[in-house]
């Protein structure tokens, strides 16, 4: 084995979950440590997000978990034509999470989750070879989800939540049609969407439990975004007029997850998750604006549904310390023919490590790190499709995710 691979392997060992498309991966420091295998995980307020059914299982009255996360996707691109290499700029995506749950009595629990499950921030050097395809592209979302769960029995719970999503998108590209090399187009907008989340949770014994949860897909429909054209030469200014009625939409896919948890020993809990993500409705990213025919902006994506497998283990080292390890394999929704620089995705293998320390009675500090490697992707293009922009070359991507948080229960 060549040295870089060996050290990459250690990188994997010493690090930790990531997800396909523009999913950001596990939400929360504890879940990141588990590689995101959390559908059958009870006694944690993140159940409000992962499986509302599990929220009804209780061993305490109030749980709060809060923290911050950061994800850095690093991609290198090797151009097939010019043989030149370009590194993406480092643009860590900051995010955070807040989970809370409270038992209300009569088997009913209420929960709240604030998460950022979908985000990406791609930033290429402004003068890179594909600058007229994309220079910068980003999506940020925040989801707020009030949840109610009901424990039908001590071993079986159901739950449902309403998901409010706010998202904003931005895209920047150089026009490249003119000698004016600084002429560019920027599209920006934001939108809200509403969805839901349902789940069931059950266990056959103290050792074996399962969960099924479904999160609906939702469409962020931007109606009044802005399209701004800068530095367009005077002769062509009429062809590129800025607009504040830019329309676009982004489909945030629904997911169906099935999870299994097995407490092998009192100290060791093993978790398995299988997730199917309905990416198919993500057809293209198109920016529409009525008054400018000259600046077409459409990037086909034609995503396919994708599966993910997650395995996590949690080991209670001593009453104060818990250690976690997780592995994730996430299939990319992106087909070969649509690999593009705005979000060069690939099948992902990620490993994660995490731990919790009891800092004070009932207060835990959670730490986790995940390292993901995306399969190398090669983009093809069809130059005869003059309205479809792409650049051909090979992408290699590593994803680093770190999380730190506090959880509190009593």
Query: Where does this chain bind other proteins (CB under 8 A)?
Result: 3-4, 7-8, 10-11, 74-78, 81-85, 87, 129-134, 173-179, 181, 235-236, 371, 373, 381, 383-391, 394, 396-398, 400
Instruction: Report the distance separating Cα 336 and Cα 356, nearest Å.
Output: 40
Q: Smallest gap, in angstroms, from Cβ of residue 284 to other proteins?
A: 15
Query: Closer to other proteins at the Cβ: 219 or 396?
Result: 396
Query: Closer to other proteins at the Cβ: 76 or 221?
Result: 76
Query: Closer to other proteins at the Cβ: 85 or 281?
Result: 85
Query: Which residue reads 């590194």 in tokens?
Result: 87
Q: Smallest gap, in angstroms, from Cβ of residue 205 to other proteins?
A: 42
Cα–Cα nearest to 28, from 111, 117, 112, 101:
117
Q: Smallest gap, in angstroms, from Cβ of residue 76 to other proteins?
A: 5
Instruction: Report the distance separating Cα 22 and Cα 29, nearest Å.
Output: 19
Query: Closer to other proteins at the Cβ: 75 or 138?
Result: 75
b/e map of 365-380 (b: 16 or more CB within 10 Å)?
bbbbbbbbbbeebebe
Query: Closer to other proteins at the Cβ: 78 or 404?
Result: 78
Q: Smallest gap, in angstroms, from Cβ of residue 133 to other proteins?
A: 4
Query: Closer to other proteins at the Cβ: 85 or 267?
Result: 85
Q: Smallest gap, in angstroms, from Cβ of residue 89 to other proteins?
A: 13
CB count within 10 Å of CB 25 equals 30
Q: Smallest gap, in angstroms, from Cβ of residue 11 to other proteins?
A: 5
Instruction: Report the distance separating Cα 175 and Cα 25, nearest Å.
Output: 33
Query: Closer to other proteins at the Cβ: 236 or 304?
Result: 236
Q: Smallest gap, in angstroms, from Cβ of residue 28 to other proteins?
A: 23
Query: Closer to other proteins at the Cβ: 85 or 320?
Result: 85
Would you say 196 and 165 are in contact if contact means Cβ atoms under 8 Å apart? no
Q: Smallest gap, in angstroms, from Cβ of residue 129 to other proteins?
A: 5
Instruction: Report the distance separating Cα 311 and Cα 174, nearest Å.
Output: 43
Q: Is 393 left (phi over 0), alpha (psi -120 to 50) or beta?
A: left
Query: Closer to other proteins at the Cβ: 178 or 272?
Result: 178
- Give the Cα-Cα-Cα angle 138, 141, 143 (nearest 5 degrees): 170
b/e map of 178-214 (b: 16 or more CB within 10 Å)?
eeeeebbbbbbbbbebebbbbbbbbbeeeeebbbbbb
Nearest-Å Rg of the Cα atoms of the chain is 22
Q: Smallest gap, in angstroms, from Cβ of residue 405 to other proteins?
A: 23
Cβ partners under 8 Å of residue 121, min gap 6: 73, 91, 92, 93, 136, 137, 138, 139, 140
Query: Closer to other proteins at the Cβ: 84 or 281?
Result: 84
Q: Smallest gap, in angstroms, from Cβ of residue 168 to other proteins?
A: 23
């Amino acid at each position: 084995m060549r040295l870089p691979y060996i050290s990459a392997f250690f990188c994997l060992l010493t690090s930790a979950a990531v997800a396909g498309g523009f999913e950001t991966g596990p939400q929360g420091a504890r879940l990141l440590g588990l590689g995101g295998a959390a559908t059958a995980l009870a006694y944690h307020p993140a159940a409000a997000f992962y499986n509302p059914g599990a929220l009804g299982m209780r061993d305490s009255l109030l749980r709060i978990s809060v923290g911050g996360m950061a994800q850095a996707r690093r991609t290198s691109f090797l151009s097939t034509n010019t043989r030149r290499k370009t590194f993406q700029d480092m643009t860590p995506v900051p995010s955070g999470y807040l989970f809370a749950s409270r038992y209300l009595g009569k088997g009913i629990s209420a929960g709240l989750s604030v998460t950022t499950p979908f985000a990406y921030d791609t930033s290429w050097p402004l003068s890179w070879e594909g600058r007229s395809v994309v220079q910068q592209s980003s999506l940020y979302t925040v989801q707020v989800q009030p949840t109610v769960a009901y424990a039908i029995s001590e071993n079986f719970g159901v739950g449902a939540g309403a998901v409010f999503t706010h998202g904003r998108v931005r895209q920047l590209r150089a026009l490249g049609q003119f000698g004016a090399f600084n002429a560019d187009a920027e599209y920006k907008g934001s939108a809200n969407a509403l969805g839901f989340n349902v789940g069931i949770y059950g266990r056959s014994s103290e050792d074996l439990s399962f969960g099924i949860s479904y999160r609906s897909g939702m469409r962020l429909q931007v109606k009044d975004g802005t399209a701004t054209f800068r530095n367009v030469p005077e002769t062509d200014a009429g062809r590129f007029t800025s607009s504040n009625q830019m329309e676009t939409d982004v489909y945030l896919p629904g997911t169906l997850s099935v999870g299994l948890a097995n407490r092998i020993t009192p100290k060791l809990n093993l978790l398995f998750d299988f997730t199917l993500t309905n990416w198919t409705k993500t057809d293209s990213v198109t920016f529409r604006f009525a008054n400018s025919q000259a600046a077409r902006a459409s990037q086909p994506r034609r995503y396919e549904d994708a599966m993910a497998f997650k395995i996590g283990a949690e080991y209670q080292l001593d009453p104060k310390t818990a250690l976690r390890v997780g592995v994730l394999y996430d299939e990319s929704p992106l087909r070969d023919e649509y690999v593009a620089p705005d979000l060069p995705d690939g099948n992902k293998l990620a490993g994660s490590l995490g731990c919790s320390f009891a800092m004070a009675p009932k207060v835990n500090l959670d730490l986790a790190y995940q390292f993901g490697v995306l399969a190398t992707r090669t983009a093809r293009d069809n130059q005869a499709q003059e309205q479809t922009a792409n650049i051909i070359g090979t992408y290699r991507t590593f994803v680093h995710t770190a999380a730190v948080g506090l959880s509190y229960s009593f």
